[in-house]
Structure 1
Amino acid sequence: MNTRVVTAHIPNELAEQIDQLAVRLDRPKGWIVKQALTSWVALEAKRHQLTLEGLADVDAGRIVDHTSIDAWATSLDKSA
């Protein structure tokens, strides 16, 4: 696998947390940063996918109007 170095300025507190994790997990700091970035990038990709799906639902008219939701929420209060 080809790799490349990416530089970022991070707060000292975060850098210290990474240092502590590296010691506790007996892993290099680079490994910890790679794991964190991999997880974050995957999460952002999922959020983007869900946003596009939501927008497609709106475009297709698959929505519930506010009045219906409000009536449903009010009915929950009355059934108690």
Structure 2
Amino acid sequence: MSTRTVTAHIPVELAEQIDAAAERLERPRGWIVKQALQNWISLEERRHQMTLEALKAADEGDFVEHDVIETWVAGLE
């Protein structure tokens, strides 16, 4: 697999947290950053997919009316 270097300026506190995690896990900093970015990308892809699904459902009229939600919430009190 080919790689590419990406540079980012991050707060010192975050860099220190990365260093601490790398030391604790006995892994290089780059491994920690790569794992974090892979997890974030996966999460964002899932959020995007869920948003598209929700917009499609709304377009198809598959949603709960606001007054129904308000009645339900009032019943929780």
How far did 1:73 drift?
2.6
Q: Percent identity?
A: 60
How far did 1:29 drift?
0.3
Normalised to the residue count of structure 2, the TM-score between the two structures is 0.92
Normalised to the residue count of structure 1, the TM-score between the two structures is 0.89
Unpaired runs of at least 5, structure 2? none
Cα distance per residue 1:15-61 (max 9 Å; x no partner): 01111111111100000000000000000000000000000011000
Instruction: Give the root-mean-square deviation of aligned CA atoms.
Output: 1.1
Query: Partner residue of 1:58?
Result: 58
Equivalenced residue count is: 77
Unpaired runs of at least 5, structure 1? none
Please list every run of at least 4 consecutive aligned residues from structure 1 whose deviation after the TM superposition is greater than 6 angstroms. none
